[in-house]
Structure 1
Amino acid sequence: MRQFFDLQHPFFLPVWRRLATVAACLGWSGLELALGNPGWAAIFAVLGLFCLWEFFIAWDDDAVRARAERD
């Protein structure tokens, strides 16, 4: 199950992809909130915050680069 949510993947090495993913999730959360859907807004906000954590706080650039070279 961990591989399904593996955000430490070489696909996300470029910073712009990580930023775009976080912005899309949080932006969608804002849209859902503006449309009056607080449940979906909360789901996308949690998803965006999880991505923010994984991409910018828990991100291990050296390990991801080593994985990219290994694969």
Structure 2
Amino acid sequence: MPLIEPNHPFFKPVWRRWATGLVPIIWAGFELVWLGNPIWALIFAGFGAYALWVLVFNRPADS
């Protein structure tokens, strides 16, 4: 069972699936560049990469 349910009605719009993955990755860049926190940047980048994998790249074609 994935941590994010890709078939939930909330994730039906494509922009929400992409935003759910890209916002943490953008925040990771902010953490790394402006705040200088590489650990938090790595954590947020991992969350974003996982969300993109589950919601965009590994989503079943029929949904």
Regarding TM over 0.5, the answer is yes
**What per-residue deviation string (whole Å, max 9, x for no partner) do you get for residues 30-49 of structure 1?**
01101100000000000111
Comparing both structures, which one devotes a greater share of its residues to helix? 1
Instruction: Give structure 1 stretches of 5+ with no counterpart.
Output: 65-71
Q: Which of structure 1's runs of 4+ aligned residues deviate more than 6 A? A: none
Structure-2-length-normalised TM-score: 0.82
Of all paired residues, the percent bearing the same amino acid is 46
Structure-1-length-normalised TM-score: 0.74
Q: CA RMSD in A?
A: 1.6
Choose 1 or 2 for highest CA Rg.
1
Task: Give the aligned length.
Answer: 61
Instruction: Give structure 2 stretches of 5+ with no counterpart.
Output: none
